[in-house]
Amino acid sequence: MNISGEDFIRGCSAIGAGLALIAGIGPGVGQGIAAGHAAAAVGRNPGAKSDVTSTMLLGQAVAETTGLYGLLVAMLLMFVKPLLK
């Protein structure tokens, strides 16, 4: 089977995009920890439920950013193909 240089770069870009999404592990763990602690906090003090929820969502959205950077790198590799130009 003959593989041209362009196809090789395309395939390697796809592998790189897949590897970039390993970045999703960290935010997943972080968001889980945040949600767990928020659940514990609501269990201890049910009156503060709305405050705890909004703080948790804010923190989770900030923690998500690193994962989104990984996603952006993957998208660039897959659809913009910077290595082919």
Partner 1 sequence: MGNTALLLSGDVDFMIKGLFSYNFFGNEVWITTTHVCTLIVMLILIGFAVCANRAIKKANVDEAPSPFLNIVELLVDFLDGVINSTMGKNASKFVNYICTLFLFIFLSNISGILGLRPPTADYGVTFPLGVITFCLITYNKFKYQKVSGVIKGLCDPWVFWIPINLIGDFAVPISLSLRLYANVLSGTVMMALYYGLLPIFVKIGIPAFLHIYFDLFSGAIQTYVFCMLTMTYVSDAIGSE
- Across the chain, how many H-helices and E-strands are there? 3, 0
**Exposed, middle or buried by CB within 10 Å (0-12, 13-18, 19+), for 42?**
middle
Measured from the Cβ of residue 77, the count of other Cβ atoms closer than 10 Å reads 21
* Number of amino acids touching partner 1 (CB under 8 A): 13
User: Which one among 4, 43, 65, 82 touches partner 1, defined by CB under 8 A?
Assistant: 65
User: Which one among 21, 22, 40, 68 touches partner 1, defined by CB under 8 A?
Assistant: 68
5 vs 65 by CB, closer to partner 1: 65
For binding to partner 1 (CB under 8 A), which residues are involved?
54, 57-58, 61-62, 64-65, 68-69, 71-72, 75, 79
